[in-house]
Structure 1
Amino acid sequence: MSVDQVPDQMRASVLTGVKELAVELVPTPPVADDEVLVEVAAVGVCGSDTHYFRHGRIGDFVVTGPLILGHELSGRIVAVGADVPDARIGERVAVEPQKNCRRCRECRAGHYNLCPNMEFFATPPIDGAFAQYCVIRTEFAHALPDSISDEAAALLEPLSVAITTMRKAGVTPGSSILIAGAGPIGIICAQTARAFGAAEIIVTDLVPERRERALSFGATKVIDPAAVDIAAAGLDVHAFVDASGSARAVFDGIRAVRPAGTAVLVGLGNPEMTLPIEHIQNLEITVTGIFRYTDTWPAAIHLVASGQVDLDALVTGRFDLEHAAEALEADLDPASLKAVVYPR
C-alpha cells in the first residue's frame, strides 16, 4: 500500500499500569521520509518487557504514561517514506528497534548504540511493537531470506545481544567460556559461542531443567553453582559471561577467568556489586558490559540462515494481543524459554 492508504488506526496492546494491559485502537504511526511502515508479524518477549509490566520501571527508565511494549520483532514492509524506493514494499524484514541521532559524538564514532539521544522501542516514552504496525528507519529494516521464519527473525534481536557479547568476550576458535544463567540470553549465548568456535562452553544455573536444556543448545558442560564452588573449581576459562544478574555469579565467574581473560556482564541485576578487585588487577582481567548492539543483524541473519544458530527451537509459547499479559508472565515457568506475541 502507499503511505496515503495506511489506516489511521491500529490495534495495540497498551500497558496502562503495573500488570495492566488493554487492547486498544491507537493512531498508526506516521511514516517519515527515510522510514518504512512494517506490518508486525511476530514479537518476542524480553526480560525488559516483563520488568516494565511488573514494576513500571527499569532503573532511570520509568513508565509515566501508556506504553506499547515489545522490541524483538519481524514483519513485512507495507509502505515507505518519500526517500525510500517503492521496491522495498513487500519485503520481509527483521527490525533493529532503535533510532539514533546520527549527529552526536558517539554516533560519529560508530558507537550508535551509546547515542544519548537514542529512541529505543518499548523504552519509555517510545512505543514498541505489540501492535499491528510500527515504523523504523529504512536502514534498520533488514531484509530476510525466505529460509528464516517470522519467529526466528524476531529473535535476531536477542541473538544480536549474544553476538555483541561474543565479540566483546573475544571468543575465537578453541576458546573456553563460562556462562552464568541458562535463561533465554544464556542459551542464545551458548549457541553463539559454539558458532564463534568455542571449544569449551560451560553453563551454570540453579534449575536442573535449565541446565539439562543448555546441553542441547551448545553447552559442553553444565554445573549447579549451589553444589560447586565456581571460583575454586579450576575452570580457568578465557571468558566469562554473566547472563543471570546474580551478584554471586558475577563475583565467582570473574574468579574463574584465566590471566588476561575477559568478563562480560550482560544480565540485569543490582546496580552495584562487589567485585574481586585483587583478582582483576593481578591477572589483568578485562571487565566490561554491553549495551544493546551495533551492526549485528547481518551476522545474525547469516548464523541463522546457515543453521549455526537455531532460534525456532527457543519458542515455547505463542500468544495473540488479547493474551499478551500471559506472554509476559510465561517466564515464571522454568520450562519456558521464549514467548512470542502475534499482533495480527
Structure 2
Amino acid sequence: MKAAVFKSFGSLLEVEDLPDPEPKSNELVLKVKACGICGTDLHMSDNCTAEGGWRLLSPGCVLGHEFSGEIVEIGQGVGGEWKTGQRVTALPWIGCGKCEPCRLGRPYRCSSVMLRSSLDLPGAYSEFCRVGANEALNLPDTVSFEQGALVEPMAVGFNAVQRANIKTKKPVFIMGAGPVGLSVALWCRFFGVEHVLISDLSGERAAASANFGATAVIDPANGDVSDQLLDHISVPPEIVFDCVGLPGTLQMAIDYAAPSARIIVVGLCMQSDNYFPAKALLKELDVCFSYVYSKEDFEKVIYLIGEKQIDPSQLISRRVGMNEFPAAFQSLKKPGPDLKVLLEP
C-alpha cells in the first residue's frame, strides 16, 4: 500500500510502498477513504520533545488519526456486528478492552494502550489501516466518509464544551479560529449560547467563524482585546476557551476572563510556558485542561451529523491525493487560511 511516512523532525513526509496491514485478534482492517491533517501531527513531526510530556515519533512511523473507511478484513475474535464493506470511523487508539478506562470508553488511559502513529499502530495517512473492533464505530448512510473523518475534531470540541458547564446566557470567548476553535463555536451555539465571540490573527479563518455560529469576531491586531470584547458584551467573558496552545495564551485567557470565570485549555502547547498565578488566584478562576473524548462522545457526534442537526463539512478547505499530500502537510506548518485538509488516498 501507499503511505506517507515520517522520516525525521522537520523534514517532508515521504510516500512509500509498505506492506498491507493484517488484522490481529479483535482488529479490523480499513480501506481509508478520508483522513484529516491534525495540528497535533504537525507539532509532533516538527519540534515535539519528550520534556513537554509528549511522546517522540520514531522514523518510519505513519501519522493520521482523523479518518473514516470501509472494512476490508476482519480479525479473529471479532463479533458478528462487523462485516466487510461496512463504513466506519474509529478512536485513535487500541486498548486492552478489559480495564476500567476501556470499559468507560476512554482507552487512551489504558495502561497497555497502543497509540496510533507509533510503529506498533500506523496511522491513516495510508491506503489501509488497522483499528480495534472495540474502538470502531459504525457510520450510518447519512454520514459521508468526509464527515466521518471530521468526527474526531468535532468530538474534541464537544468534550471541551461539556467540561465548560455552559450557561446559555453567559457570553463565551474563544481564542483561536482553527478547526478546534470552530468546533467549540459550533457546539456552543448548538447548546444555546447567545453570544459567541472568537479571535484569530488570520482574517480568513475569523471570517469563516460565522459559518460555525460565532456572533462577533475579535481582531487581536486591531487594538486591545479586552476593550474589543466590551464593545460586544457589557462585562468580561465568564467562559474562555484557549484553542491556540502557544506560550502566553493561557496568560491572555486569564487576563481576559471575568472574576470567577472558567477557562478551558484545549490548545495543545508542547513548550514550557509562564503565567502569573496571582492574577488567576485574585480572580478565583477555574482552569480546566480538556484533552480528548470518550467513545460515547464519538457516538453522539455521529448521531447528530447523521440526523442533520450539525454539519461540520465547512471545515474542509481542500482535498488532496497521496502524491500531493506531503507538500500539503508541510504547508500547514505556516500560518494560512486553510482549516481542514483531507487526504483521500
- Normalised by the length of structure 2, the TM-score is 0.87
Which of the residues 52, 68, 71 maps onto 1:74?
68
Query: Per-residue deviation at 1:154?
Result: 0.5
1:84 alignment counterpart: 78
Amino acid at match of 2:169: G
SS at match of 1:269: coil
Q: Any conservation in 2 of the 1:15–1:53 contact (CA below 8 Å)?
A: yes
Which of the residues 59, 62, 70 maps onto 2:56?
62
- The superposition leaves residues 269-299 of structure 1 with CA deviations (integer Å, 9 ceiling, x where unpaired) of 3633333433432443210212222231111
- The superposition leaves residues 290-324 of structure 1 with CA deviations (integer Å, 9 ceiling, x where unpaired) of 22222311111123223343221111111111121
May I ask how many residue pairs the two structures share in their alignment? Answer: 334
- The superposition leaves residues 157-188 of structure 1 with CA deviations (integer Å, 9 ceiling, x where unpaired) of 11111011101111243342110011111111
Which segments of 5 or more consecutive residues in structure 1 lack a partner in the other structure? 1-9
- Normalised by the length of structure 1, the TM-score is 0.87
Name the Cα RMSD after superposition: 2.5
Name the structure with the higher strand share.
1
Which segments of 5 or more consecutive residues in structure 2 lack a partner in the other structure? none
Decide whether aligned partners of structure 1 residues 14 and 57 sit closer, same or farther in structure 2, where only a CA change above 3 A counts. farther
2: distance between equivalents of 1:164 and 1:173?
A: 17
1: distance between equivalents of 2:119 and 2:283?
A: 40
- The superposition leaves residues 113-157 of structure 1 with CA deviations (integer Å, 9 ceiling, x where unpaired) of 334543221256642111121111112111111121111100101
Decide whether aligned partners of structure 1 residues 246 and 16 sit closer, same or farther in structure 2, where only a CA change above 3 A counts. closer
Amino acid at match of 2:273: M
1: distance between equivalents of 2:238 and 2:300?
A: 23
Which of the residues 192, 202, 215 maps onto 2:187?
192
SS at match of 1:139: coil
2:254 alignment counterpart: 254
2:7 aligned with 1:16: yes
Q: Any conservation in 1 of the 2:40–2:268 contact (CA below 8 Å)?
A: no
Give the fraction of aligned pairs with identical amino acids, expressed as a percent. 29
Within 5 Å, which residues of 2 pair with 1:148-227?
A: 148-227=143-222
Q: Any conservation in 2 of the 1:46–1:72 contact (CA below 8 Å)?
A: yes
SS at match of 1:76: strand
1: distance between equivalents of 2:122 and 2:49?
A: 14
Amino acid at match of 1:173: T
Moved more, 158-167 or 119-128: 119-128
Q: Any conservation in 1 of the 2:69–2:145 contact (CA below 8 Å)?
A: yes
2: distance between equivalents of 1:130 and 1:172?
A: 39
2:291 aligned with 1:291: yes
Decide whether aligned partners of structure 1 residues 104 and 282 sit closer, same or farther in structure 2, where only a CA change above 3 A counts. farther
Q: Any conservation in 2 of the 1:49–1:328 contact (CA below 8 Å)?
A: no
Q: Any conservation in 2 of the 1:175–1:197 contact (CA below 8 Å)?
A: no
2: distance between equivalents of 1:247 and 1:55?
A: 14
SS at match of 1:258: coil
2:343 aligned with 1:335: no
Within 5 Å, which residues of 2 pair with 1:303-342?
A: 303-331=304-332, 332=334, 334-342=336-344
2:43 alignment counterpart: 51
1:6 alignment counterpart: none
Decide whether aligned partners of structure 1 residues 80 and 109 sit closer, same or farther in structure 2, where only a CA change above 3 A counts. closer
2:114 alignment counterpart: 119
1:281 alignment counterpart: 281
2: distance between equivalents of 1:86 and 1:57?
A: 42
2: distance between equivalents of 1:262 and 1:123?
A: 35
Query: Per-residue deviation at 1:201?
Result: 0.6
Amino acid at match of 2:8: G
1: distance between equivalents of 2:253 and 2:304?
A: 27
Which of the residues 124, 131, 134 maps onto 2:126?
131
Query: Per-residue deviation at 1:108?
Result: 6.8
Query: Per-residue deviation at 1:57?
Result: 5.4
Moved more, 330-339 or 33-42: 330-339
Moved more, 312-321 or 259-268: 259-268
Amino acid at match of 1:340: L
Decide whether aligned partners of structure 1 residues 254 and 117 sit closer, same or farther in structure 2, where only a CA change above 3 A counts. farther
SS at match of 2:134: helix
Amino acid at match of 1:190: A
